[in-house]
Amino acid sequence: MSGGERPDPSPSAAEEAAARAGLSAAVEPGDPVLGALLESRPASRVWTALRTGAPLEPPAGWTAAALRGRLERWRARAREVDPDLVLSRAGDQGIRLVVPGDPEWPSQLDTLAERRPHALWVRGAHDLRNACLRAVSVVGSRAASAYGLHVATEMSHTLAEHGWCVVSGGAYGIDGAAHRGALAGGAATVAVLACGVDMHYPRGHEQLFAEIAGHGVLVSEHPPGAAPNRHAFLVRNRLIAALTPGTVVVEAGRRSGAANTAAHAQELGRTLMAVPGPVTSALSVGCHRLLRDYQAVCVTCARDVIEQLSPVGAEPPGEERVRVGADLLDDTARRLLEALPERGSVGVAVAAAASGLTPDAALRRLGLLAAAGHVERAAAGWRRIPGSRTSRG
User: Between 64-78 and 32-40, two packed helices, what is the crossing angle to 10 degrees?
Assistant: 90
Please, what is the minimum distance in Å from the beta carbon of residue 284 to a second copy? 7
- DSSP code for 194: S
Residues in contact with a second copy, counted by CB under 8 A, come to a total of: 20
Dihedral in degrees, nearest 10, Cα atoms 91, 92, 93, 97: -10
Q: Is 303 in the site for a second copy (CB under 8 A)?
A: no
CA–CA separation, 259 and 79 (whole Å)? 37
Q: Give 5's contacts (C-beta < 8 A, 6+ positions apart).
A: 41, 45, 49, 54, 55, 56, 57
Residue selected from 11, 32, 51, 147 as contacting a second copy according to rule CB under 8 A? 147
Q: Is 299 in the site for a second copy (CB under 8 A)?
A: yes
Q: Is 288 in the site for a second copy (CB under 8 A)?
A: yes
CB-nearer residue toward a second copy: 231 or 292: 292
Cα 171-177-180 angle, rounded to 5 deg: 105
φ and ψ at 231, to 5 degrees?
-60, -35
For the chain, how big is the Rg over CA atoms in Å? 22
Please, what is the minimum distance in Å from the beta carbon of residue 282 to a second copy? 11
Q: Is 314 in the site for a second copy (CB under 8 A)?
A: no
Please, what is the minimum distance in Å from the beta carbon of residue 304 to a second copy? 7
CB-nearer residue toward a second copy: 303 or 335: 303
Q: Give 366's contacts (C-beta < 8 A, 6+ positions apart).
A: 336, 348, 351, 375, 382
Please, what is the minimum distance in Å from the beta carbon of residue 95 to a second copy? 38
Q: Which amino acid would we find at residue 72?
A: E
- Cβ atoms < 10 Å from Cβ of 245: 18
Residue selected from 68, 79, 231, 292 as contacting a second copy according to rule CB under 8 A? 292
CB-nearer residue toward a second copy: 57 or 307: 307
Residue selected from 42, 225, 276, 347 as contacting a second copy according to rule CB under 8 A? 276
Q: Is 151 in the site for a second copy (CB under 8 A)?
A: yes
Q: Is 5 in the site for a second copy (CB under 8 A)?
A: no
Please, what is the minimum distance in Å from the beta carbon of residue 247 to a second copy? 16
CA–CA separation, 68 and 83 (whole Å)? 23
Residue selected from 277, 286, 367, 373 as contacting a second copy according to rule CB under 8 A? 277
Q: Is 283 in the site for a second copy (CB under 8 A)?
A: no
Cα–Cα nearest to 224, from 123, 126, 100: 123
Residue selected from 234, 268, 282, 301 as contacting a second copy according to rule CB under 8 A? 301
Q: Is 392 in the site for a second copy (CB under 8 A)?
A: no
Write the DSSP string, 5-70: SPP-PPPPHHHHHHHHHHHHHHS-TT-HHHHHHHHHS-HHHHHHHHHH----PPPTT--HHHHHHH
Q: Which amino acid would we find at residue 99?
A: V
Q: Is 114 in the site for a second copy (CB under 8 A)?
A: no
CB-nearer residue toward a second copy: 105 or 147: 147
Q: Is 282 in the site for a second copy (CB under 8 A)?
A: no
Residue selected from 24, 153, 244, 284 as contacting a second copy according to rule CB under 8 A? 284
Strand ranges in 169-294 using DSSP code E only, listed in sequence order:
189-193, 217-220, 246-249, 271-274
Q: Is 300 in the site for a second copy (CB under 8 A)?
A: yes
**Region near a second copy per CB under 8 A, out of 36-44, 92-100, 282-290, 370-378:** 282-290
Q: Which amino acid would we find at residue 184?
A: A
CB-nearer residue toward a second copy: 297 or 353: 297
Please, what is the minimum distance in Å from the beta carbon of residue 263 to a second copy? 18
Q: Is 279 in the site for a second copy (CB under 8 A)?
A: yes
| Contact status, residue 217 vs residue 188, Cβ threshold 8 Å | yes
| Contact status, residue 277 vs residue 287, Cβ threshold 8 Å | yes
Q: Please give the residues from 235 up to 274 whose contact with a second copy meets the rule CB under 8 A.
A: none
CB-nearer residue toward a second copy: 24 or 284: 284
- DSSP code for 295: -
- DSSP code for 287: H
Please, what is the minimum distance in Å from the beta carbon of residue 319 to a second copy? 20
Which positions touch a second copy (CB under 8 A)? 147, 150-151, 275-280, 284-285, 288, 291-292, 297-301, 304
